[in-house]
């Protein structure tokens, strides 16, 4: 891919990602466009929404998750916590979670949880949430400990993941500032009939809406599905809508799990100027972007954004735009 072609691809992707001339109106609009926002780190998910909307507050995002129920967080594609529209949850769950059970069972065994203990633990989680309502992770840990079900290390996470993979639980309201689990059947509308072929087409169509240009291997990696499923979905989806304006990526600061870092199988063009571009483990950093390419890393120290020395040449206008967005990030994270 030539330099001009790579720049065009990045520009189109950033426009699809609501990081160009268009922004989303609220949390559900962002989740609707991207289909799923990686959310194992809630700060990263919040910052992803911030960058794609206008003057949204953390409280608005948390209200959409924990009160309005317009979006929901749970384990879906790739076995990672995802922020999705509540209306999309059940069909995404039915489509993307079946491949995850084998790895989940293996991890439970590695953490010392037997199959019988896993069954007992999931049943206990379901009963406690049904009897007592939403409950934070540490409180569920206490109940499982009382029942002598292993929770040390990553055991608790994989037990809760199993409850979610089975469609029993999701993350719901915030209780005492902590994101609590709740019964999915109490928190979300009842699922409609599931048609797998139709769901594959919807998956591909919606993925392209937020990620095009992209191909079958990009979709398969992003969704955590076999390549044959990605191809079947794309065959049903057809071509994505043509962009009606020339995309212009905004200079912006994005966090370490932002969708632009996990949306495609390759980050070569995105991180081409980064010294550690050949080390996949180093890719998941908070980066500053100009023209759709990473130009610096950043961190928050004492509530203040600190930009690293840029590893790509920046104009004074670009640097000023990054400083402006850094101030916006500080205000966003500082707000109660």
Percent of the chain residues past pLDDT 90, beyond the cut: 94
**Cβ(37)–Cβ(259) below 8 Å:** yes
Most distant CA pair in the chain: distance in Å? 62
Dist. CA 195–CA 225, nearest whole Å: 16
pLDDT band at 8 (very low <50, low <70, confident <90, very high): very high
For position 2, what pLDDT does the model report?
63
**Cβ(119)–Cβ(147) below 8 Å:** no
* Average pLDDT estimate for 199-212: 98
230-286 pLDDT tens trace: 999 999 998 888 777 767 899 999 999 999 999 999 999 999 999 999 999 899 999
Please report, for residues 20, 259, 262, 325, 333, the alpha-carbon distance to residue 34 in angstroms, rounded to integers and kept in the order given: 14, 8, 12, 22, 22
Closest by CA position to 119, among listed 99, 79, 149, 157: 149
- List Cβ neighbours of 188 (8 Å cut-off, separation of 6 or more): 69, 72, 86, 89, 90, 170
For position 36, what pLDDT does the model report?
98
Coil, helix or strand at residue 151: coil
**Cβ(294)–Cβ(270) below 8 Å:** yes
For position 240, what pLDDT does the model report?
84
Dist. CA 145–CA 151, nearest whole Å: 7
Dist. CA 211–CA 284, nearest whole Å: 19
> What average pLDDT does the structure give for the chain?
96
* Average pLDDT estimate for 175-199: 96
**Cβ(251)–Cβ(219) below 8 Å:** no
Write out the DSSP string of 162-202: HHHHTTSEEEEEEETTEEEEEEHHHHSPPPPPP-HHHHHHH
């Amino acid at each position: 891919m030539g330099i001009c072609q790579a720049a065009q691809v990045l520009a189109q992707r950033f426009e699809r990602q609501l990081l160009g001339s268009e922004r989303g109106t609220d949390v559900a609009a962002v989740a609707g466009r991207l289909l799923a926002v990686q959310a194992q780190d809630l700060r990263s998910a919040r910052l992803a929404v911030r960058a794609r909307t206008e003057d949204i507050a953390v409280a608005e995002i948390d209200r959409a998750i924990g009160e309005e129920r317009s979006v929901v967080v749970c384990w879906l594609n790739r076995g990672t916590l995802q922020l999705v529209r509540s209306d999309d949850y059940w069909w995404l769950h039915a489509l993307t979670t079946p491949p995850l059970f084998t790895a989940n069972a293996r991890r439970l065994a590695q953490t010392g949880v037997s199959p019988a203990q896993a069954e007992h633990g999931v049943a206990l989680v379901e009963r406690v949430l049904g009897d007592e309502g939403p409950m934070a992770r540490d409180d569920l840990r206490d109940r499982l400990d009382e029942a002598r079900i292993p929770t040390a290390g990553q055991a608790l996470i994989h037990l809760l993941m199993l409850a979610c993979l089975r469609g029993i639980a999701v993350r719901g309201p915030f209780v005492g500032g902590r994101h609590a689990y709740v019964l999915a059947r109490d928190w979300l509308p009842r699922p409609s009939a599931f048609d797998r072929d139709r769901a594959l087409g919807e998956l591909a169509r919606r993925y392209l809406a937020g990620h095009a240009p992209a191909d079958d291997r990009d979709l398969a990696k992003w969704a955590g599905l076999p390549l044959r499923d990605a191809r079947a979905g794309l065959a049903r989806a057809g071509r994505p809508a043509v962009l009606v304006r020339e995309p212009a990526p905004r200079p912006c600061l994005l966090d370490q799990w932002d969708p632009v870092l996990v949306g495609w199988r390759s980050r070569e063009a995105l991180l081409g100027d980064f010294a550690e571009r050949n080390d996949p483990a180093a890719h998941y950093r908070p980066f500053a972007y100009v023209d759709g390419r990473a130009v610096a890393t950043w961190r928050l120290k004492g509530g203040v954004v600190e930009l690293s020395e840029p590893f790509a040449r920046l104009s004074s206008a670009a640097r000023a735009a990054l400083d402006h967005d850094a101030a916006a990030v500080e205000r966003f994270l500082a707000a109660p």
